[in-house]
Chain A
């Protein structure tokens, strides 16, 4: 079961990389950095993303949740 679980997450990670590469080939300006620049140009969304990022650190390092 661990192979299936891990495989699905690895497939998602690979799909992100492939999508970034394939779309970047057709649209030179469409980089992951440019996408995040656009996404985080909104103050409210920047706040949401940073809280979500912070929680990952809390979850794995600090919280008694694992």
Chain B
């Protein structure tokens, strides 16, 4: 920690503010890299909105890591309210045509609410219970990270081969899932899994 950070902490204490995290650690830096990398892929795909989302997300993650975020509300969101809201959102999505303006508005609203809830940590199931990094969890995280990176590399290879040889048949994950999501049962199943996954993620967390 350099003298500038020491001075900032001293100023924070002087003004009665909690001392914020001032450094972007390696785990956060890895996630920023992931967000930027996906953003670059979106530029290659000429999906400008998606690219902007990822670059803004990367900037937001850095700002939060550096402690530059507004004070969070103290109110908590109980599981019945979270699950109820998610169920209503999922039901609405099931009745909206895919890729329609209504679907886009609904998904953007879901995203905005989810980011707000995630930032506030209001839905975390056990916020006061320490989330320890035991050797077993470290090993599991390393194994999952390696497997997910391998899957992402395979996805990227399929995507690049599709660009280089557009006449050949290369199948990225989107190409494989798209026909299933196109059908009504497939779309309902995707919405259910996606929304349930979001609720599960919003409930994860703990004290450090």
Contacts and interface: CB of A to CB of B under 8 A. Distances in A.
Contacts of B62: 44
Main secondary structure of the interface of B (DSSP, over half): helix
A48 B32 contact: yes
A65 B134 CA distance: 41
A54 to B, nearest CB: 4
Nearest to B198: A53
Interface string A12-37: 10011001100110111110111111
B150 A12 contact: yes
Main secondary structure of the interface of A (DSSP, over half): helix
**Contact size range, B:** 35 or more
Interface string B171-208: 11111111001000001001100100110011011111
Interface stretch (B1-9, B11-19, B136-144): B136-144
Interface of B: 24, 27-28, 31-32, 34-35, 38, 45, 47, 49-50, 53-54, 57-58, 60-62, 64-65, 69, 93, 98-99, 103-104, 106-108, 110-111, 114-115, 118-119, 121, 124, 126, 131-137, 139-141, 143-144, 147-148, 150-151, 154-155, 158, 168-178, 181, 187, 190-191, 194, 197-198, 201-202, 204-208
